[in-house]
Amino acid sequence: MNKHFDSALRHKNSDLTEKLHEHHRGISGHTKLYCLLGNPVAHSLSPAMYNYSFLNHGIDACYTAFKVSEEDMPKALSAVCALGIKGGNVTMPGKTAAAKLCHELSDAAEIIGACNTFVNEGGRLIGHMTDGLGFTDSLRLRGYAPEQKRIVLLGAGGAATAILVQCALEQAAQIHVFNRRSPRFIAIGQVIERLKDHQPSVDIHLFDWTDVQQLQRSIAAADLLINATNIGMAPHIDQLPLPDVNCLRDDLAVADIIYNPEETKLMKCAREKGAPLVIGGHGMLLYQGRAAYKIFTGLEMPVKDVGREIFGIEILE
């Protein structure tokens, strides 16, 4: 197990690695177990992130990862209950299957139809979705909130769907979603219909990405532009998810969920236009873990230390 932590810590710190090893040498019959379920999981930094946080708070708990296919998710979650595993996270490809197997779901998880976090309450599995909350928390870190904002959201994948739902739950005024017509377009359209019933005060519309004039009109009226696609991700760092850089303005906040590169072309262009807020994807990645940790323990993850020691990034707080 220690080899997994060594390989996961991309930014090596021998003192930290030894502390994590020491933490696991203290495992006993009283140690609470948490886990990550999915495939692949060997690359995940989640074990290092959560175990560092347990160590920081002096909690007798251990977090590990299990390679689980979508087909085996029912057996895995049954084992969670049988073995008394306290909780954990679900990554691809099992988020939808896990939501169907939970006894109860948070509002976000129920609307999306997927969960990435669960807790075991005496054999009852409670499912949550923290991806969208991680995004909105990363905005709040910079003094910005979705409430009463007009938002343009590019993309219709899992991250985009989670962001859409969380922004609606947090009372955004308007959300215009753009994606090419595809199975994802249809799927996010179904989520939007459920959202309209749950959050009728939020004005939500879905548009075809190829409708350039509508995209330009929507961005012209927006307060916040969110790129939740992979356009601009390494190695394609010269790509821009907009038809024209002139869509950007000095009063339009811009968020990009991509974290490699740290600054995408969209972010660079937004800064050059004088955007009041420009943020990348590291915050969402880290803050969705913070939200899950609070669900697990009721405590605040030491985000700044985790960012520096585990992810090799500096988080402003």
Which residues are known catalytic residues? 95
- How far are the Cα atoms of 127, 209, 308 from residue 183, in angstroms, in the given order? 25, 14, 38
Q: Which two tokens stand for residue 72?
A: 């085996």
* Neighbouring-strand partners of residue 277: none
- Residue length of the chain: 317
Q: What is the 3-state secondary structure (H, E, C) of the chain?
A: CHHHHHHHCCCCCHHHHHHHHHHHHCCCCCCEEEEEEECCCCCCCHHHHHHHHHHHHCCCEEEEEEECCCCCHHHHHHHHHHHCCCEEEECCCCHHHHHHHCCEECHHHHHHCCCCEEEEECCEEEEECCHHHHHHHHHHCCCCCCCCCEEEEECCCHHHHHHHHHHHHCCCCEEEEEECCCHHHHHHHHHHHHHHHHCCCCEEEEEECCCHHHHHHHHHCCCEEEECCCCCCCCCCCCCCCCCHHHCCCCCEEEECCCCCCCCHHHHHHHHCCCCCEECCHHHHHHHHHHHHHHHHCCCCCHHHHHHHHHCCCCCC
**Which tokens go with 199?**
């959050």
175: left (phi over 0), alpha (psi -120 to 50) or beta: beta
Which backbone phi and psi does 137 adopt, to 5 degrees?
-65, -35
